[in-house]
Structure 1
Amino acid sequence: MSSEIQPYVFDPESEEEGEMAQAQSLPGRLSMNVSEWCTCGNCARMPTEAENVCCKETPPVVRRMGDTGTPVSCMTLHSGLEPVCLNLYSLQNALNIHRADYGPLRQRTYQRRCRHLAYRSFVSWCWGYLGRKVRVIIPACVVLRSSQTQRVNMLVFGLPLAKP
């Protein structure tokens, strides 16, 4: 009888063929109507399968949605989203903080820097500090709201729009 420790002895064996067949049989969200996977009513189709996520499917976002006095049906309706993540002056302040901590952002256009900072502010607000190179998926409705707000900010403040 061997007294060696054997890793994975008590773990269940995987059924690779069954798992792959099951994954292939499920329709991807890219082939579905947005209304089939979005439960908040404000999402739009995103370019990749992984990005097609509703705010109500993401636990940290759902927790943040619940911190208002009245429940909101979508993260885009949360009273804190605009001042924390979308307000141009908040984003300018976030840019100053980022420059002081990490140096200048590498995005070439002002609009891309604002979008990056809006996403970064949203992630920090909902998840807290994640660590270097840790990424999360931002809900499609928040991405859409952010891009719409950035376009309005660029037009209102007379800043040049980036080419799509």
Structure 2
Amino acid sequence: MAQPTPSGSRSATPGRGRGRGRGRGAAIPLDSVDMQRVQMLRAERLTSEQDRIQSLSLQESHQLLQRCLTRDPSLLFDIMATQDTPAAAPTPIPGHPTWCVCLHCREMPTDIESKCCGQRSNSCISTLPHFDMYILDEGVLRLSRRVWNDIRAVQDAPEPGESNKQFRHAAYRQYVVWQYGFLGPGHRVVIPSCCVCKIREHYPDPHGQYTGFVSSRV
């Protein structure tokens, strides 16, 4: 005779309690059959999309690229950069950094910050309309600051110059997300000098004091 289930204990119904010991919400790895099925579906989708691309007219291809540029500019920048011939070394300009290609950078206080976007002068990232829209627009940055402060449970300090400082830091975060996506805790990247200078010109410090790149921050 089956033993009665103790009061307060879970029923032994099949399927209940699966994943016990893995922790709540833990993912269950796919077995080999499921992996093969997923890979097959991906291959079929890729082949289907390749066929669709081949069937596009020249005008349709241009329209598709325009949509890509609007939705994810950084992806198209990277792809276009691989198609460009290496830019010739720029003619030295008095007072201009020798390591700069786009001709919009300035001398930086450290070697690690002496980084150029690598684009030609007429396509420097800091001069693109998307840069103004995503990185410099005050409304976008205010929303970004509010989300950031809510996550960290802090408020902006009212000291003189603090508002522009918060705008600059929000702009730096916006640039990283725009160009690299989410990096995760502890991962930091150097923003090109041309873009840093454009942000500082838009939201300057009243005393000209800037923190600069910090390799790690808690």
TM-score by length of 2: 0.47
Query: What is the aligned partner in structure 2 of residue 163 from structure 1?
Result: 207
Q: Aligned in 2, Cα 1:101/1:87: closer, same or farther, shift over 3 Å?
A: same
1:1-164 equivalent positions in 2, closer than 5 A? 34-56=96-118, 72-104=122-154, 109-151=162-204, 162-164=206-208
Kept after mapping to 1: 8 A contact 2:97/2:107? no
Query: Using CA pairs below 8 Å that are at least 6 residues apart, which structure has the higher relative contact order?
Result: 1
Which structure has the larger Rg? Answer: 2
Q: Is the 8 A contact 1:94 1:117 kept in 2?
A: yes
Distance in 1, Cα, partners of 2:152 & 2:189: 20
In 2, distance between residues paired with 1:146 and 1:105? 22
Amino acid corresponding to residue 121 of structure 1 in structure 2:
Q
Are 1:75 and 1:142, in contact at CA under 8 Å, matched by a contact in 2?
yes
Question: SS of the residue aligned with 1:55?
Answer: coil
**How much identity, in percent, do the aligned residues show?**
27
- C-alpha distance in 2, partners of 1:55/1:76? 9
In the alignment, the residues of structure 1 paired with residue 179 and residue 155 of structure 2 have an alpha-carbon distance, to the nearest angstrom, of 22
- Separation (CA, whole Å) in 1 of partners of 2:186 and 2:143: 22
Structure 1 residues without counterparts, runs of 5 or longer: 1-32, 57-61, 66-70, 152-160
Query: 1:72, 1:39 → 2: CA distance?
Result: 11
RMSD: 2.5
TM (normalized to structure 1)?
0.61
2:172 partner SS:
helix
Number of corresponding residues? 112
**Residues 47-101 of structure 1: CA distance to partner in whole angstroms, max 9, x if unpaired?**
1110000001xxxxx7xx9xxxxx9520012221111111111111101111222
Deviations 1:82-125 (A, max 9, x none): 11111111111101111222222677611111110000100010
Q: Distance in 2 between matches of 1:136 and 1:80?
A: 20
Q: Is the 8 A contact 1:105 1:113 kept in 2?
A: no
